[in-house]
Structure 1
Amino acid sequence: MENFIVSARKYRPTQFDSVVGQSHITTTLKNAIKSNHLAQAFLFCGPRGVGKTTCARILAKTINCENIGNDGEACGTCPSCQSFQDNTSLTIHELDAASNNSVDDIRNLIDQVRYPPQRGRYKIYIIDEVHMLSAAAFNAFLKTLEEPPSYAIFILATTEKHKILPTILSRCQIFDFNRIQWKDMADHLANIAQKENIQAEPSALELIAIKADGGLRDALSMFDLNVTFSTDNALRHKDVLENLHILDSDYYVSLTNHLIQQNHVETLVLLDEIMRKGFDGQQFISGFMEHLRNLLFAKDPQTLALMEISDETRAKFKQQAELTSTSFLLSAMNICSTCESNYKSAKNARLHLELCLLKINYLPSVYQLATEGGTGKKPEPQAKSAGATTQTTVSTPPAIEVTAAPVTETPVAVSEPAPATVPTPAPTPAAEEPKPQAKPVTQIPAAGLSGLRSSKSVIKPKAQEDEVKEQAVANDFNNQDFDSAKLLGVWNEIAQKFKDANLINKFVMMDRPIELIDTVAHIKVENEVQVQHFNEQLRMEVLGTLRERLQNYAIDIVLDVTIQENGDKKLLYTQSDKYDFLVQKHPILGELKQKLGLDHEF
């Protein structure tokens, strides 16, 4: 029986032009040989199976060739080339650093470097997997690598460049090898199939090339495996899928169609068929997430061109991408990512996978529900979380108008913005919100503007009222009617609760004049300090209690500041009031404040 030689060895390139997918490397090396600008140390780095060792051997053979062509290629017929091809060359030495990584091995190599070559101009040393050398071996190699004899050239190859000492890197001319494109690999496999008289389907070769993930040696190994699998010396797409245990992309296409149509029965049946064929659940969800990513890329011609797939497959993705929305794809990818992360730790992995698909299945219903529950306008597509829960649409509260006015003896209203509007399914007339034009405009005297430190105290409670509004949704907006007397009774009960809790609470709550306009309770207070304290400390609790006791969630509270006459006595004083009073009695306080840079606000 004739000895079988694997394709990776049988069709290993022997010239620079036959190297696949590394034209930027081969062109540079050929030009360096033709111009005689050769470095004394080369470092070839890159992933496995991309041609590092192959290029090192071609470079070593070409350097010592006695009849180099005008294109920088070795002749292949001179004694030096023949001895290299027969593995009998005495000028080219190859060392495997993975098994010869000690200091003694490097010392033996250094001893050999001292002797010039018997034939040819150069003595070449190829050290493969150089990152496996120990730190001591690297240090012993430094001096020779930096100042080698004129006839010595070192070619180092590694897959892990980051493990090599910087002192070694600085002494080498570095070449970075790229992953080989799947189209180049598919063409190379087609040439080999033609030479071997193998009937190969283009889709089968493309599948092998994509599965190899940039490594030509892996692609050749899978090619030999599938050729051996077939009985009639043919290579079919169906056989490659079965032999390499790859889930066909048609399953992902069918699954996506079921999810778009919200057909959860067919979705679960298809998942069961996939699992019965022996595919791992985590591998399936990872492949499905990749399919969703390709659909997202297929929505735009620029990103569609980035996909490493055939033109036929690209057209299929483009067709299905038109049936999906961007928000659906993003939400589905997010759910799949969470499922993939938690798959191994799940006790019932199959149920975890089914739940993931069911969440994706009902994403269109969630979007439709969110649209119908809003203001009638279709919301902008947004990526949903793993739970894909519906959120209540809240309108933006109106802006507050603040104008300066001269001090008058008439009361000036200080109002809060109305709470955020929550959409209601056909509310009763009693639950209608106050009309925007009925809301009072804030007018604050110029003398009272200093009492308001910032607008945060007014806006902050409004942001917190979302929880109260959600409670309104839970109670189906069954608002009850009430009058001023009932409101005053409940208010007094709440005020009695705060009577002994805090002195300032007592001043704010007790004996307050209340005026009811529609469902808005207008409370009169003496100054802005009380407004700020109520908004920060009491508003949420008081407003929530009122709505619960009166069974009406449209109630709102507006504080009206009554400007006092000059002879009235203030009930509460601000920090500025206290400071001004003390400065009048003790002027030295003002001097101390300026000299020490103090501030009375705290």
Structure 2
Amino acid sequence: MSTNKTVLAIKYRPQVFDELVGQSIIVETIRKSISLNKIPNAFLFTGIRGVGKTTIARILAKALNCADPKKNNCLNNCCSNCSQISESRHIDVLEMDAASKTGVDDVRDLIEFSRYGPTSSKYKIFIIDEVHMLSKQAFNALLKTLEEPPEYLKFIFATTEVNKIPVTVLSRCQRFDLLRISFDELLTFLKKVTLLEKKELDEEILKLVVKISEGSVRDSLSLLDRVFLSDNDNGKKLNLKSVQKIFGYFGKGYLLDLIIEIFKGNEKKVLELYKNIYNQGVEPKLFINDFLEIIYYLKNNQNIDNLSSSLDFTDSDFERIKNLSNSVDNRSLLLFWEYSVNILSEINLVSNQHLAVEMFLIRLMYLKKEVLGTSDNSILSNDGNKNKDQINENYVKNLYKDINNNKTIDQIKFSSQEEEKISIDDKKISNKTEINSFSDLISVCVSKKEIELKYELENNVNLISFKNNNIEISFNDNLNKNFIKNLTTKLLNWTGERWIITLSKKTGLKTMKEMEVQNNNNKLDDLKNSELFKEAINLFPDLEIVNIKDIKEDSSD
């Protein structure tokens, strides 16, 4: 590794395959292809940032052009080719950033340059970083050369967004997907770097760096750089708490305290705990993601012993997670998860994301009280028994519909009549209305002047079945959120009987409006194919039929 750089990410950038962190399977494959002289025309390396895409591309270029091909691993006694490639000054190895050179003219220059053989090495190599940034025309210009290049020409591509590369290009490359570096491999690497830098850091600090870096070597070295810069030489050793403040990170113990207070319904304490977390510089999105992580552990506490060592939980935290998980109903956790996922998109709509998170926490407390039907301390009772109160199904339906942007919920059956305080027997219904079909229902809406309900039924409802006071429907995104409540209430008033509305994910029939439009289009098509129209079009070439009206219906009006 280079030792003349001060930035760790550059100083400890691998120069040979043996120095790479992780990616052992890919390295073995590349080495074997070189040793067997079965080298593809183009290599494509893809993966998240900081896992070694460009680094492997440069090492591969050195391995292909090394003056000692049997060794293919210049490090201490670097040959001239490898030395020049490392310093980005080799005349036969051209590295191009597609983010800044995206046009077809740039690729044409590249192709023109490729016509000439290598000057001082075996291969002429083009390394194109962030290749997905090339324009469509640039990719097309590259295709022919990429498929049948001269024997001396090799392409090496690197990208973080492989899905943006045309399939025609992908099919001409040998693709290598670089994985995130595992927790243990990255931790071992950081320990080695810390030792080489002659620094002393607790292992817990290094674990925190590994966790935040999310499997990226470059990110982990950049974070470690920040730790080293914050480490003063006054003899006082950095501790985990100090490093957490440097990164704006907070321990999961705070979150556990906050979630416990949410289940207790202690609004003042919940907001106080969140403000303490926010004052540490934690971003709202990071807070929500960590909140989701805790909900996941609570739901899957049976696997708690197998959790990765990357988690910064203490033994007491593990114990609290288990106890809390045994005390909380799974329905509560699933609804909390649903709300937490949706707030991630909601906070982008609010200028002050901090306030959005506060309101999110308050909503969770009201969710617990009103939907789950629990008192302040019933969920956290000492005996650990789960609360078995029945959820109000109508309320849950409306809740799910709101947080899922009007997406249907499979087979949720409910009846708003359950909320009626006046029973049917107490109502003296003199004129019961017979409703035996969907068309009957729409006709009754017309006679009762329920125009809004009629509009919803015709335009936004897809009928699946209608029988025995049981209506099964699906609906589109335009359906009014109070439609079900209004419909069941009206049916009760009109018929004096209870009706069950079933929401389904089945496709169902077309809406009445869609069927009307289709029927009108069919009439138009029939008319256009008729002999009468053909005679008319001969007389009037510019004739165009826009709509059809029934004369009988028109006269009856």
Per the shorter chain, which TM-score range? 0.5 to 0.7
Contact 2:41 2:155 in 1 (8 A): yes
Q: How many residues align?
A: 417
- Matched residue, 1:333: 337
What amino acid does structure 2 have at the position aligned with 1:329? L
Partner-residue secondary structure (3-state), 2:209: helix
Contact 1:42 1:173 in 2 (8 A): yes
Contact 2:123 2:152 in 1 (8 A): yes
Structure 2: tracts of 5 or more residues without a match: 380-384, 398-412, 435-466, 472-489, 498-557
> Cα deviation per residue 1:402-456 (whole Å; 9 max; x = unaligned)?
xxxxxxxxxxxxxxxxxxxxxxxxxxxxxxxxxxxxxxxxxxxxxxxxxxxxxxx
Residues 131-140 or 76-85, more deviating:
76-85
Tell me how far apart the structure 2 counterparts of residues 213 and 383 of structure 1 sit (CA, whole Å): 39
Contact 1:102 1:134 in 2 (8 A): yes
Distance 1:63 1:254, change over 3 A: same
Contact 1:285 1:336 in 2 (8 A): yes
Tell me how far apart the structure 1 counterparts of residues 146 and 24 of structure 2 sit (CA, whole Å): 27
| 1:277, distance to aligned residue in structure 2 (A) | 4.1
| 1:266, distance to aligned residue in structure 2 (A) | 3.0
- Matched residue, 2:239: 236
What amino acid does structure 2 have at the position aligned with 1:190? K
Tell me how far apart the structure 1 counterparts of residues 36 and 268 of structure 2 sit (CA, whole Å): 70
Tell me how far apart the structure 1 counterparts of residues 112 and 416 of structure 2 sit (CA, whole Å): 81
- Matched residue, 1:202: 203
Tell me how far apart the structure 2 counterparts of residues 8 and 535 of structure 1 sit (CA, whole Å): 66
RMSD: 4.3
Within a 5 Å distance, the mapping from 1:310-325 to structure 2 comes to 310=311, 313=314, 316-317=317-318, 319-324=320-325, 325=328
Tell me how far apart the structure 2 counterparts of residues 15 and 295 of structure 1 sit (CA, whole Å): 44
Contact 1:296 1:329 in 2 (8 A): yes
| 1:194, distance to aligned residue in structure 2 (A) | 0.8
Within a 5 Å distance, the mapping from 1:403-482 to structure 2 comes to 470-471=419-420, 474=421
Tell me how far apart the structure 2 counterparts of residues 164 and 535 of structure 1 sit (CA, whole Å): 51
Tell me how far apart the structure 1 counterparts of residues 134 and 491 of structure 2 sit (CA, whole Å): 72
Match for residue 299 of structure 2 among 293, 296, 301: 296
- Matched residue, 1:245: 248
Partner-residue secondary structure (3-state), 2:324: coil
- Matched residue, 2:290: 287
Structure 1: tracts of 5 or more residues without a match: 390-462, 480-486, 503-531, 546-602
What amino acid does structure 1 have at the position aligned with 2:362? L
Contact 2:191 2:206 in 1 (8 A): yes
Tell me how far apart the structure 1 counterparts of residues 358 and 394 of structure 2 sit (CA, whole Å): 16
- Matched residue, 1:14: 15
| 1:85, distance to aligned residue in structure 2 (A) | 3.4
Distance 1:314 1:80, change over 3 A: farther
What amino acid does structure 1 have at the position aligned with 2:257? S
Contact 2:262 2:361 in 1 (8 A): no
- Matched residue, 1:104: 105
Tell me how far apart the structure 1 counterparts of residues 24 and 16 of structure 2 sit (CA, whole Å): 12
Tell me how far apart the structure 2 counterparts of residues 360 and 533 of structure 1 sit (CA, whole Å): 34
Tell me how far apart the structure 2 counterparts of residues 383 and 130 of structure 1 sit (CA, whole Å): 53
Within a 5 Å distance, the mapping from 1:115-154 to structure 2 comes to 115-154=116-155
- Matched residue, 1:258: 261
1:64 and 2:75 correspond: no
- Matched residue, 1:186: 187
Return the index of the structure with the highest Cα Rg: 1
| 1:79, distance to aligned residue in structure 2 (A) | 3.0
> Cα deviation per residue 1:23-76 (whole Å; 9 max; x = unaligned)?
221111111112211112111122221101100111111112233457x63465
Within a 5 Å distance, the mapping from 1:31-70 to structure 2 comes to 31-69=32-70
TM-score for both structures, normalised by structure 2: 0.64
What amino acid does structure 1 have at the position aligned with 2:302? D
Partner-residue secondary structure (3-state), 1:247: coil
Tell me how far apart the structure 2 counterparts of residues 270 and 535 of structure 1 sit (CA, whole Å): 49
Aligned identity (percent) is 33
Distance 1:285 1:115, change over 3 A: closer
What amino acid does structure 2 have at the position aligned with 1:295? L
- Matched residue, 1:73: 73
What amino acid does structure 2 have at the position aligned with 1:328? S
Contact 2:50 2:218 in 1 (8 A): yes
Tell me how far apart the structure 2 counterparts of residues 115 and 535 of structure 1 sit (CA, whole Å): 78
Contact 2:208 2:310 in 1 (8 A): no
What amino acid does structure 2 have at the position aligned with 1:358? M
Residues 276-285 or 137-146, more deviating:
276-285
- Matched residue, 1:272: 275
1:352 and 2:359 correspond: yes
1:216 and 2:223 correspond: no
| 1:283, distance to aligned residue in structure 2 (A) | 4.2
Tell me how far apart the structure 1 counterparts of residues 470 and 310 of structure 2 sit (CA, whole Å): 61
Tell me how far apart the structure 2 counterparts of residues 53 and 362 of structure 1 sit (CA, whole Å): 53
Within a 5 Å distance, the mapping from 1:377-396 to structure 2 comes to none
Tell me how far apart the structure 2 counterparts of residues 385 and 169 of structure 1 sit (CA, whole Å): 50
What amino acid does structure 2 have at the position aligned with 1:292? I
- Matched residue, 1:94: 95
Tell me how far apart the structure 1 counterparts of residues 10 and 68 of structure 2 sit (CA, whole Å): 26
Tell me how far apart the structure 1 counterparts of residues 272 and 324 of structure 2 sit (CA, whole Å): 22
Contact 1:92 1:123 in 2 (8 A): yes
Contact 1:334 1:385 in 2 (8 A): no
